[in-house]
Chains A and B, each alone.
Chain A
Amino acid sequence: MNEDGKKKVWCDYQKEIAPDHYYYARSCIRQNFFPGSEETFLKIVGEVLGKDIYDDPHQTTCTGIAYHSAAIPMETTMTVVARQFSLMNEAGYKNFIPSCVTSFGIYTEMMEVWEHFPETLEKTREQLRNATGRTFRLPENLVHTSDIIYHFKNEIAAKAMYRLVNKRTGKPLRGVEHIGCHYAKIFPVKGLGGAEFPCVLSGMIEAWGGEVIDYPERRHCCGFGFRNYVIKENRGYPLSNTKRKFDSMEPYQPDFVVTNCPGCTFFMDRWQYVIAEMEGKTYGANGMGIPVLTYEELAGLVLGFDPWSMGMQLHQVSVEPLLEKMGILYDQTKKYLGANGEALGRPELPERLKVYENDHPC
């Protein structure tokens, strides 16, 4: 195949990522469940990479969970999305980067609807004007926040203090990556590598010295299912989905799982706890779980950030087995301290899932 033809074939699997000047759109779930991750991202992009990134106090939810739970009409989501874009315009930015895969899907879907059905764009403009007096222009570049980390993965590797390599054996650590359904399944051309060769997380793992595990249920949904999780009686659905994934990855003995979407991180961490408590089944070594990380946490560890300052003590599955393998120097006595160094007690121990404590699982 000639060079041009080759380029054409692969262009669907690439996408443009703006090199600087980002408008940051926060995630409801990431802020609540992994509250250190977004600060870690801002620090990596702003301080480590020296890029301009704006954290706007005026933004709100994108309504994604409500939209996918049929709680609100589509027009509400379109108009909230339009307001977020209006805020970006007002702040003088053109590159919109949402910190959530559901949000990424929402923004991309609404822009496509406006393109395919121009009358909906007119209606959104009118509804936004009526409700807020605002107007808006579309972003010039819209990518997920993990795309930014991917884009600068080699710069991060060059500044790395630690690598995804087992310090004792010298072998690459083996990671499972979970990119989340709405990253590339709705709009494959908007995801790095498309739906066939998604590389946003695998690219990071490999750039930082690790090895990616391919396992049968790699692309299976974590099972969030929106209303299938929000409503307590339906939660068997996400639990069963996640269990299917862990049963499938178990024989490959992953050292860690890294996820793209904050919802997936939450489920893959917490359902391991639930499976352990309900069935006594654990997937990690010594009765513990497999550590599940946000990609911000993974990048932060590689760069030498303190795990407890990134909030990794808020995971239910202990992360120490990974820290040990990477040879990270961390202070276990600081894990459960507060802002002023005060002792905050410690979480109760689960009945069955082992928690890493004082150099051994208990």
Chain B
Amino acid sequence: MNLKDQLKNDVRFVEGLKACINCGICTAVCPAAQFYDYDPRRIITTVQKGNEDEIRALLTGDTIWYCGECLSCKTRCPRDNTPGYVVQALRNLSIQSGLYTQSERGRQQIKVKRQVGDRMLAYGYCVYIDEIDTKEHPEQGPVWDWYRKNAQSILTRLGANYHGEGAGTLRRISDADMEELRNIFKETGAIKRFEHIEKACHE
């Protein structure tokens, strides 16, 4: 199946590309276009044209990884396109086809997998205080070091249930619930995606 047809299998592509009139409004409101060499209008034009080589160039390049997925473009497009959705579909295909490994930004996916993916499977949260330090996150500032050092006492004062059983802020999610979450990840292909990304990284 050619790349354009594969894109059409993604509902985000179908939802995101109706008919583009090249007006450039999406680019005008796009924060990523303000800070990167990035232009959502050009991405939409490329996929609309449907040239296989140009779509392949998108899948192997850095461009699609610059989008911040703020979806500001969705609100403003006069033709009901959503460049942000199209980018999601392109990223998905880039990962599925393995083409993401050909760009520097694409290869960052291993870090996303290890930080967000592994944490969800370990804790049931996307982020968890125990794993976040100011070496990797210097922007957290000295208050974060103080908070982490005294986490149990501070969190108890705030009424949290840190590492505790039952409900509450930062509670430990039970083994049975984690089992359901992991089963969903297995059933829906997330685990397979994680394994592929790790394997590609080692190769």
Is the Cβ of A57 less than 8 Å from the Cβ of B174?
Answer: yes
Is the Cβ of B124 less than 8 Å from the Cβ of A60?
Answer: yes
For residue B154, CB closer than 8 A to chain A, the reply is: yes
**Partner-binding segment picked from A15-23, A139-147, A224-232:** A224-232
Is the Cβ of A231 less than 8 Å from the Cβ of B170?
Answer: no
Distance of A259 from chain B, by nearest CB (Å): 15
Interface of B is mostly: helix
Q: Mark B160-203, 1 if CB is under 8 A from A, else 0.
A: 10000111111101100110110111111110010000000000
Rounded to whole angstroms, the CA-CA distance of A236 and B142 in the bound complex is: 20
Which residue of A60, A66, A232, A237 contacts B35 across the interface (Cβ within 8 Å)?
A237
Is the Cβ of B92 less than 8 Å from the Cβ of A74?
Answer: yes
Interface residues of A in 42-69 (CB under 8 A from B): 55-61, 63-66, 68-69
Which residue of B66, B71, B166 contacts A185 across the interface (Cβ within 8 Å)?
B71
For residue B103, CB closer than 8 A to chain A, the reply is: no
Residues of A within 8 A of B80 (CB): none
The CB with the most chain B CB atoms within 10 A, among A31, A74, A310, is that of A31
Which residue of A60, A72, A116, A244 contacts B15 across the interface (Cβ within 8 Å)?
A116
Is the Cβ of A347 less than 8 Å from the Cβ of B185?
Answer: no
Chain A: which residue is nearest B172 at the CB level? Answer: A57
For residue B52, CB closer than 8 A to chain A, the reply is: no
Which residue of A75, A224, A274, A309 contacts B188 across the interface (Cβ within 8 Å)?
A75
Residues of A within 8 A of B178 (CB): 60
Is the Cβ of B190 less than 8 Å from the Cβ of A72?
Answer: yes
Rounded to whole angstroms, the CA-CA distance of A6 and B74 in the bound complex is: 26
Which residue of A61, A113, A195, A340 contacts B11 across the interface (Cβ within 8 Å)?
A113
Q: Mark B26-45, 1 if CB is under 8 A from A, else 0.
A: 00000110111000000000
Distance of B163 from chain A, by nearest CB (Å): 12
Residues of B within 8 A of A76 (CB): 184-185, 188-190
For residue B139, CB closer than 8 A to chain A, the reply is: yes
Distance of B199 from chain A, by nearest CB (Å): 16
Is the Cβ of B71 less than 8 Å from the Cβ of A181?
Answer: yes
20 contacts between A and B (CB under 8 A): A29-B126, A35-B160, A36-B158, A57-B168, A60-B178, A66-B112, A74-B92, A131-B180, A223-B31, A230-B116, A232-B137, A236-B35, A240-B35, A311-B158, A340-B153, A342-B153, A344-B149, A344-B153, A345-B146, A345-B150
Give me the interface of B with A, judged by CB distance under 8 Å. Answer: 10-12, 14-15, 31-32, 34-36, 65-72, 74-75, 88, 91-92, 95, 108-109, 111-113, 115-117, 120, 124-129, 132, 136-147, 149-150, 152-160, 165-171, 173-174, 177-178, 180-181, 183-190, 193
